[in-house]
Amino acid sequence: MSLEHDEAIENYILSHIDEEGDLLKQLNRDAHVNLLRPRMLSGHLQGRLLKMFCRLIQPKYILEIGTYTGYATLCLAEGATDDAEIHTLEVNDELEDFILKYLHQTKLKDKIHLHIGDAMEIIPTIDCTFDLVFIDANKRTYIEYYDLIFDKVRSGGLIIADNTLWDGKVLDTAKPSDKQTIGIQKFNDMIAKDSRVEKVILPMRDGLTLIWKK
């Protein structure tokens, strides 16, 4: 399919699903104007999908590794129950003001606990058994995140890993210097062989892997 056809299909999809809402639209515009790499933001379609997952599985405890702007965080909060608890982790403290700017504008803020720092250090301190985990952080360390959270996810819980097709680079032989592509490739290979879970990759945006813990 041509690029024009792909864009037309995407626009058709976005015009036939739920709106993202005014606050998320504002956040999206703000990120594209003021932040580096705004493409990292989850966006309208993926955001509605994350909300739908929460509607379907009704998670009580949610962990998000990689907050970035807080867009996906707000989408998870929209779909979660009123008594849900969302722990979202962001290593870049320079994003804290941006994140809080939007978290403070939503009535969902009481569900959300923002942690600034290294996920590998913070996760062991959170005393929860998670129903849903969304991994969207340093691609070099996806395997380390997975190993760290696996025993903290309940049986029947869902792990979602973002960017697992990595712009199609997973098909290439990565250069030794391309640690992010290597990290994603190793993660995908490991998940494919993990008999403790069921898994499927959705070829939307940059790839989204759904991992259901048996």
Taking only the tens place, the pLDDT of each residue in 83-123 is 999 999 999 999 999 999 999 999 999 999 999 999 999 99
Model confidence pLDDT, tens digit, residues 130-163: 999 999 999 999 999 999 999 999 999 999 999 9
Q: Other CB atoms closer than 10 Å to residue 190's CB: what's the count?
A: 13
The pLDDT-based confidence of 6 (bands split at 50, 70, 90) is confident
Start-to-end Cα distance in the chain: 37
Query: What confidence score (pLDDT) does residue 118 get?
Result: 97
DSSP state of 203: -
Pairing mode, strands 85-90 and 112-116: parallel
Residue 75 sits in a domain whose CATH number is: 3.40.50.150
Number of domains in the chain: 1
Classify residue 21 by burial, with Cβ atoms within 10 Å: 0-12, 13-18, 19+: middle
Could you list the residue range(s) of the whole structural domain that residue 173 is in?
A: 3-213
